[in-house]
């Protein structure tokens, strides 16, 4: 096989006895080439061990077949599942995935995006709907298709693939209330530059209000989306004069951290304190007691986003935004109060 310098398409063309153009067509649009020609080109490719040069293709065709995704973090299990399905689906559609994380510092997003624009990506996948104006300007200036994920923003015209955090929170709070709880604390995550957390707070409040309850401000505890965030939340909640009977957490990581802290402090979950999470990561069903949570379509978000973004690249006009569905999953960590 190929000795010396890497063969180029011209070598293939020469060996096959066709023109450069035909060789190119044989590889890119084989159906436009006579079977016999195709055959000869393929044989030449084989013989030379020829491999196309992606950079040259990208330059000439103005398509990189690459899509970038920017996440708050790559190792949060909820995102990881979604990244996995995004990558797989994109790959099947012929696209490669470039990933970056802003490490929960949204202000870094513009910089990351700028680099991606410069390197040339055909489209971008972002998490959430709340982004710096500069992000959207960059995207529109360079006419780069994008899709926002996880959250849906029905008020804007932006393409989204996600679910309603408001509804999810509303349903969970409703379930908690149905179970007899009235002393309810919420650890929603951190709301800065994060519409998902804000929607969660609003959804929870709405559910409480419609049951004639209210969410005390001192029981809205903002914490990072980590085990440690959950531990702190529990410490804070237990430190107050009055104690809630349930702690609704903004994701399963927080909830599991909270459960671990309770165990350490000998607070029996769910008898002394019920705990709920959100997302329904696989782990939620592995801990003791199993975690009550809301199931969200992690895998679908990844694969739908892939399809959506590719169809935008291929010129589809924005489709309507219909939120994916979520459902509350009741498990042992939520107790009935009588």
Asked if 52 is part of the footprint of DNA (rule: CB under 7 A), the reply reads: yes
Q: How big, in percent rounded to 5, are the helix, strand and coil portions of the chain?
A: 45, 15, 35
- My answer on whether omega of the bond before 18 falls inside 30° of 0, hence cis, is no
User: Binds 101, which of a second copy, DNA, none (CB < 5 to 8 A, cut-off by type)?
Assistant: a second copy
Q: Which does 335 bind (CB under 5 to 8 A by kind): a second copy, DNA, none?
A: none
Q: Cβ closer to a second copy: 95 or 219?
A: 95
Q: Does 313 bind DNA (CB under 7 A)?
A: no
Out of a second copy, DNA, none, which partner does residue 25 contact, by CB within 5 to 8 A per kind?
DNA
> DSSP letters along 130-142, please?
---HHHHHHHHHT
Binding test (CB under 7 A) with DNA, winner from 43, 49, 53, 107: 53
**Residue 202: CB minimum distance to a second copy, A:** 29
CA-based nearest residue to 251, from 81, 77, 119: 77
**Among DNA, a second copy, none, what binds residue 18 when CB lies within 5 to 8 Å by partner kind?**
DNA
Q: Which does 34 bind (CB under 5 to 8 A by kind): a second copy, DNA, none?
A: DNA
Sole binder of DNA in the list 43, 49, 61, 74 (CB under 7 A): 61
For 4: left if phi > 0, alpha if psi spans -120 to 50, otherwise beta; the answer is: left
DSSP character string of 175-195: HHHHTT--SEEEEEE--TT-H
Residue 156: C-alpha distances to residues 133, 152, 177, 320 (Å): 14, 9, 32, 11
Nearest alpha carbon to residue 90 among 299, 303, 317, 298:
303
Q: By three-state DSSP, how is residue 153 classified?
A: coil
Q: Which two structure tokens, joined as six digits, stand for 321?
A: 């935004």
Binding pattern to DNA, positions 18-37, x when CB under 7 A? xxxxx-xx-xx---xxx-xx
Q: Are 249 and 275 in contact (CB under 8 A)?
A: yes
The binder of 320, among a second copy, DNA, none, by C-beta within 5 to 8 A per type, is: none
Which residues contribute to the site for a second copy (CB under 8 A)?
A: 1-2, 6, 49, 51-56, 58-59, 64-66, 73-75, 77, 80-81, 83-84, 87-88, 91, 96-101, 103, 112, 114-120, 141-142, 227, 256-257, 259-260, 263, 282-283, 285-288
| Residue showing tokens 């109060």 | 337
Nearer to DNA, 33 or 309 (CB): 33
Nearer to DNA, 54 or 240 (CB): 54
Alpha carbon distance 11, 21 (integer Å): 12
Q: Which is nearer to DNA, 9 or 186 (CB)?
A: 9
Q: Which of 2, 43, 59, 137 binds DNA (CB under 7 A)?
A: 59
Q: Which is nearer to DNA, 57 or 216 (CB)?
A: 57
If we measure between CA atoms, which residue out of 306, 296, 281, 295 comes closest to residue 329? 295
Q: Is 115 in the site for DNA (CB under 7 A)?
A: no
Q: List contacts with DNA (CB under 7 A).
A: 6, 8-10, 18-22, 24-25, 27-28, 32-34, 36-37, 50, 52-53, 56-57, 59-62
């Amino acid at each position: 096989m190929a000795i010396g310098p890497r063969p180029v398409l011209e070598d293939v063309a020469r060996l096959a006895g066709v023109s450069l153009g035909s060789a190119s067509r044989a590889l890119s649009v084989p159906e436009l080439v006579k079977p016999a020609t195709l055959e000869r080109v393929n044989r030449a490719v084989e013989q030379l061990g020829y491999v196309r040069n992606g950079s040259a293709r990208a330059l000439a065709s103005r398509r990189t077949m690459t899509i970038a995704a920017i996440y708050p973090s790559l190792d949060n299990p909820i995102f990881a599942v979604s990244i996995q399905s995004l990558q797989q689906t994109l790959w099947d559609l012929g696209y490669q995935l470039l990933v970056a994380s802003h490490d929960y510092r949204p202000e870094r997003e513009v910089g990351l995006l700028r680099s991606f624009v410069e390197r040339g990506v055909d489209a971008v996948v972002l998490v959430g709907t709340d982004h710096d104006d500069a992000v959207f300007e960059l995207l529109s200036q360079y006419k780069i298709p994008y899709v926002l994920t996880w959250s849906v923003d029905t008020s804007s015209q932006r393409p989204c693939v996600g679910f309603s955090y408001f509804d999810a929170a509303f349903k969970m709070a409703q379930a908690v209330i149905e179970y007899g709880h009235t002393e309810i604390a919420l650890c929603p995550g951190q709301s800065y530059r994060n519409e998902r957390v804000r929607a969660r707070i609003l959804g929870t409040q709405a559910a409480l209000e419609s049951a004639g309850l209210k969410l005390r401000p001192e029981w809205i505890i903002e914490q990072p989306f980590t085990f440690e965030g959950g531990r702190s939340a529990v410490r804070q909640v237990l430190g107050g004069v009055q104690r809630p009977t349930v702690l609704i957490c903004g994701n399963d990581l927080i909830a599991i951290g909270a459960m671990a802290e309770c165990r350490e402090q000998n607070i029996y979950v769910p008898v002394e304190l019920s705990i709920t999470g959100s997302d329904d990561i696989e782990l939620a069903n592995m801990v003791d007691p199993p975690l009550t949570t809301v199931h969200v379509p992690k895998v679908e978000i990844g694969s739908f986003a892939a399809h959506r973004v590719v169809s935008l690249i291929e010129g589809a006009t924005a489709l309507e935004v219909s939120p994916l569905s979520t459902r509350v999953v009741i498990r042992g960590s939520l107790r009935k109060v009588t």
